[in-house]
Amino acid sequence: MQVWTEIRRKVMVEKVSVRQICRDYGLSHHTVAKMLENVEPPGYQQGEVERPRPKLGPFLGVIDQILEGDQMAPKKQRHTAKRIFERLRDEHGYQGSESQVRRYLAENDHRHREVFVPLAQPPGEAQFDFGEALVEIAGVRMKAALAVMSLPYSDAFHVTAYPRECTETFQAAHDTSFEFFGGVPTKIAYDNTTVAVKKVLEGPNRELTSEFLRLESHFLFTHRFCRVARGNEKGHVESLVGYHRRNFLVPVPSFASFAELNAYLTRRCEEELDRTLRGHSETKRERLETDRAAMLGFPKTAFESRKVVYAKANSLSLVRFDRNDYSVPTAYAHQSVTVIGGPESIKIVAQGHLVATHRRSWDKAQTFYEPVHYLALLERKPGAFDAARPLEDWQLPACFWSLRRRLEVDLGPTGVKEYIKVLRLLERYSMRDLRIAVERAAVGLSVNADVVELLIRSRNETPVELFSLDGHAHLRSVSLEALDLSAYATLTAVNS
């Protein structure tokens, strides 16, 4: 550029001849003329005529056919440039270089690369997606499922983490996100997750799962599903999954529980609302108010995030749910039950009654016993008490073991059975009430299950100072004569 400027100045200002410039700089007359016509080097411009490919040209149709066939193949089993070159060479007699093949493929990719249309983002609409991230919970590193819901209009978003992506966590993520936003979006965009979609039908039609329809029916929002393998149709939330990983979860965070992790994530989402987006004068929090104004209100009743399955208790009084076994009372062995699995707990219903509740486990091939469930059976089979697996890790207060020893001394072989009867009081009373009653019974002359239960009842009864006839109308007509207590007064005088 310095030489260009110098030559132009000499010819156009200092009036040096073009012939002299050609001699001094060793340039052709054509080059100097181009310098005088342009204030800067115009650069190289290739003509629009396609360059000939004498060796590759006859094989372009074969390459296009291979690329078209790749559209139906799995992504990891499509042709590379090297593999196309090898096939052209070995199967079709191509004599050219591999670089010619690579150059054509690059040009072809550029011509066929998809171009997108910017979409309008109305207030009150949302997008939802799941992603993954590495976290540490209670000292154990694991992959967590990140559920992200975003509002493209305001760019507000909410993220929650769960041990796994499934029906109940999918529902729970919606419930918590709605609470965070302060309203229910009118429409939510999804990919074709199996949690929501049973079958992809022609065009935009989908056969939906019953649990997704229950969620939609409760909150009354509508849905929009992206085309298959077209996650870019909800690109706003797609980009946010990576954003959360990079900004919220680096370095790998460590928390005692998922509840603590989610409290941290919600706090970070709240802080993000004070940011101002490029091209806007309002903060996200201010734009969120416009989103809220367009949203739906909350239903009158709370939503229960759960998955319902039907199972059968086996001979060990165990019910399988999500690859784990949970106990039920032995009276329900071999019976059909309904399991209601939520993110935090498992409820088991039999004959219309709730018969068992367990804490939800996200591991697999684990067995969870409630010792109380097996006491009725052990009362009939007291010889199996000490070898019963459900009781192996049962931590009881020390006063219970003292009670057992006393019962065995007082009652002999039947002492264990009586001890089991005492433990069965846990079917009706709390561990705290039973412990206090056992401690009080220990100071008495005689102790058994009836005595312990009597102590629990006496402790829980509330003294009545004045008997009320409310609800006892039939007693209003009853009258009693006054009793003569003079005889008792005589006895009191004698004793004094």
Superfamily of 125-294 according to CATH: Ribonuclease H-like superfamily/Ribonuclease H (3.30.420.10)
Asked if 329 and 376 count as a contact pair (C-beta separation under 8 A), the reply is yes
pTM (predicted TM-score): 0.70
Residue 229 has pLDDT above 70, yes or no: no
Instruction: Please compute the mean of the pLDDT values over residues 261-268 and round it to a whole number.
Output: 96
Query: pLDDT tier at 53 (50, 70, 90 boundaries)?
Result: confident
**Cα dihedral 291, 296, 301, 305 in deg (nearest 10):** -60
* Strand pairing category for 206-208 and 197-200: antiparallel
pLDDT confidence tier of residue 233, bands split at 50, 70 and 90: low
3-state secondary structure at position 490: helix
pLDDT classification of 494: cutoffs 50, 70, 90 = low
Rounded Cα–Cα distance for residues 346 and 306 (Å): 9
Instruction: Specify the range with the lowest mean pLDDT, choosing from 248-262, 367-381, 415-429, 446-460.
Output: 446-460
The full set of domain ranges for the chain reads: 2-37, 57-112, 125-294, 307-368, 375-460
Query: Average pLDDT for residues 369-379, to the nearest whole number?
Result: 96
The set of residues, in sequence order, having a beta carbon less than 8 Å from that of 443 and lying 6+ positions away, is: none
For 249, which DSSP code? S
Is residue 47 predicted with pLDDT exceeding 60? no
Say what angle helices 449-460 and 431-441 make with each other, to 10 degrees. 120
SS3 46: coil
Percent of the chain with pLDDT over 90: 59
Task: Judge contact between 156 and 217, C-beta under 8 A.
Answer: no
The C-alpha atoms of residue 322 and residue 339 are separated, in whole angstroms, by: 10
Report the relative pairing of strands 353-359 and 345-350 from DSSP bridges: antiparallel
- Among 79-93, 107-121, 318-332, the minimum mean pLDDT is found in 107-121
Element (H, E) at 244: helix 235-248
Q: What is the pLDDT of residue 400?
A: 94
Residue 496 scores a pLDDT above 60: no
- Examine the pLDDT at 153 and tell me if it is beyond 80: yes
Let me know if 100 is exposed, middle or buried by CB neighbors in 10 A (0-12, 13-18, 19+): middle
Mean pLDDT of 158-170: 95
- The encoded tokens of residue 233 equal 């149709």
End-to-end CA distance of the chain: 131
Q: Which residue has the tokens 């969620």?
A: 215
- Is the pLDDT reported for residue 349 higher than 90? yes
**Amino acid at position 130, single letter:** F
The Cα–Cα gap between 231 and 238 comes to 7
CA distance 15 to 22: 14
Structure token digits, residue 15: 């009036």
Question: What are the tens digits of pLDDT across the range 69-87?
Answer: 888 888 888 899 999 999 9
pLDDT at site 403: 93
- Phi first, then psi, for residue 55 (nearest 5°) are -95, -40
Look at residue 121 and tell me whether its pLDDT is greater than 90. no
Split at pLDDT 50, 70, 90, the class of 50 is: low
Mean pLDDT score of the chain, rounded to an integer? Answer: 88
Q: What pLDDT is recorded for position 489? A: 73
Q: Give which of 136, 135, 131, 138 is closest to 165, Cα–Cα.
A: 131
Task: Identify the three-state secondary structure at position 435.
Answer: helix
The pLDDT value recorded for residue 466 is: 60
Q: Residue 2's pLDDT is what? A: 86
Which DSSP symbol is given to 444?
A: S
